Chains A and B, each alone.
Chain A
Amino acid sequence: MIRFDYARPADVSEAVRAGSGEHAAFLAGGTNLVDVMKENVARPLQVVDINRLPLTDIEAREDGGLRLGALVTNAATAYDPRVQQRYPLLASAILAGASPQLRNAATNGGNLNQRTRCYYFYDVDTPCNKRNPGEGCGAIGGVNRIHAILGASDQCIATHPSDMCVALAALEAHVQVTGPDGDRAIAFSDYHRLPGDEPWRDNTLRSGELVTAIDLPAENFSTHYTYLKLRDRLSYAFALVSVAVALRLSEDGRIEVARIALGGVAHKPWRVPAAESLLQGEQPGERVFQAAAHAITEGAVGQGQNSFKIELARRAVVRALGQAAAGTPQSQTDKRIA
């Protein structure tokens, strides 16, 4: 592996100071950063180990929500009783991802900031605009079965690989960050970005900013939700398409609030408010589910090998809406799709 300077700050302000260098990287669980360092994809000169920072708690918030510390592991988050009971969509999405070993090491902040698993991004012998701006994109016209069908640009068709983030998008979480210019909260839909002509920027963090927590709002959709993940093998694989659905139903069974987020299809969890509002006030049913599925995939473009994802995403949305409306969420143990 490459050589680097190592620092282990004891408090957040010290970490921000140490992390504000041009070639510094924050290290938490290491499950992604250490991997991309081994591949020579990330080449930090200073590694700032943030594992000793006091960001390891899950706390109730005054507004009825929950604050997830950035350094709480994905496993500790998914198995926390408050998360399991009140935010089962989030627990389900986390447990759909990676492996127990990885979830025991990976942190909440790190999950947000993990890099794409695009083969070309990982292979330094091939061109990649995300890794080396201006070099070109090997995936366009190349091997692109796992790549984006929505929101891509002519410079990058990579996807964001997280499952957790798809649920956080549907729950409308906020990301708390701190940095050289102080603290701020970023709405989840504004945290990750589309590649555009700056594909090297995965998110809207400013230089030196550190994620300190993820805030979940009080509305938790604990009754009508599902996380449906479709992939090439049933476990320990990234999504080809995934769907997080959260619904609030009225007493007469109509949809009052609908949230739909797609994973595996874009550079960020994909939401289309217009698709969600098509469901508002409607009785759950195939016709409105189909309408929403077409609206959320409007403008989808296949790249050849991944073109199947467009129809797969539509069918997954319809199935996930049905699961959520019925109150029968997808099991992450028994992978049969009900």
Chain B
Amino acid sequence: MNPAVTLDRTSGRRVAAEPIASLTLRLTVNGEERVLQVEPWTTLLDLLRDKLDLTGTKKGCDHGQCGACTVLIDGRRINACLKLAVTLEGQEVTTIEGLGQPGNLHPLQAAFIEHDAFQCGYCTPGQICSAQGLINEGHARNRADVREQMSGNICRCGAYTNIADAVLEVLEQGKQP
């Protein structure tokens, strides 16, 4: 196979022998099957925000250090900024838009409001997706577990105490028969 991209040794520039074709990507996004044309270097975060207009998922650091872009892949949380979209062929993505809608709030969204678990709100979609991931993953039993397992989501307003309260409440509600 002749590579489509080569390095010009004198200029150090990347040379594409031919334009790199977009790839066809089949993805289920918030329950809806999508067939998309995606360039290989597009991250899931940029695909969601720029192509699918799902701007609930936020771009904070874009380097996996803040958690604002947290979404669920097949029910497990990841940082969308560090995931190339083309690697997710056939998988299921859930964003904040898929968890709840105006008038139909997800229990975590209702608990965040009830507990005053945000101030500026920028980290909140990531916090809520992360909390849903925490519940799905099933390794948290108490407040200390919740705090540790929510540590991948930074809140610069410092609403951590109330975030832990909100997540713990929904986690414990889920335990009841």
Chain B interface residue count, CB cutoff 8 Å, equals 42
Contact with A along B59-79 (1 / 0, CB 8 A): 000111001001001001111
Contact, CB under 8 Å: B43 / A4: no
Contact with A along B82-113 (1 / 0, CB 8 A): 11101101000000000000000000000000
Binds A, one of B26-34, B50-58, B130-138, B161-169: B130-138
Least distance between B114 CB and chain A CB atoms (Å): 24
Known pairs A31-B64, A31-B79, A334-B144; A23 contacts B20 (CB<8 A): no
Least distance between A53 CB and chain B CB atoms (Å): 12
**Chain A neighbourhood of B151, CB < 8 A:** 99-100, 234-236
Contact, CB under 8 Å: A102 / B64: yes
Contact, CB under 8 Å: A4 / B82: no
Contact, CB under 8 Å: B82 / A35: yes
**Chain A neighbourhood of B14, CB < 8 A:** 2-3, 43, 45
Contact, CB under 8 Å: A102 / B4: no
Known pairs A6-B23, A27-B87, A45-B3; A235 contacts B78 (CB<8 A): no
Least distance between A71 CB and chain B CB atoms (Å): 12
Separation of A2 and B7 alpha carbons in the complex (Å): 12
Residue of B nearest to A99 (CB): B152
Contact, CB under 8 Å: A79 / B20: no
Least distance between B128 CB and chain A CB atoms (Å): 13
Q: Return the contact of B83 from the options A43, A75, A100, A105 (Cβ within 8 A).
A: A105
Q: Is A21 an interface residue (CB 8 A)?
A: yes
Separation of A6 and B87 alpha carbons in the complex (Å): 10
Q: Is B116 an interface residue (CB 8 A)?
A: no
Q: Is B172 an interface residue (CB 8 A)?
A: no
Contact, CB under 8 Å: B41 / A3: yes
Contact, CB under 8 Å: A100 / B130: yes
Least distance between A29 CB and chain B CB atoms (Å): 8
Q: Is B6 an interface residue (CB 8 A)?
A: yes
**Chain B neighbourhood of A5, CB < 8 A:** 3-5, 20, 40
Q: A4-B41, A100-B77 are in contact. List 11 more A-B contacts (CB 8 A).
A: A3-B5, A5-B3, A5-B40, A30-B83, A35-B64, A46-B3, A46-B5, A100-B130, A101-B79, A235-B148, A236-B151
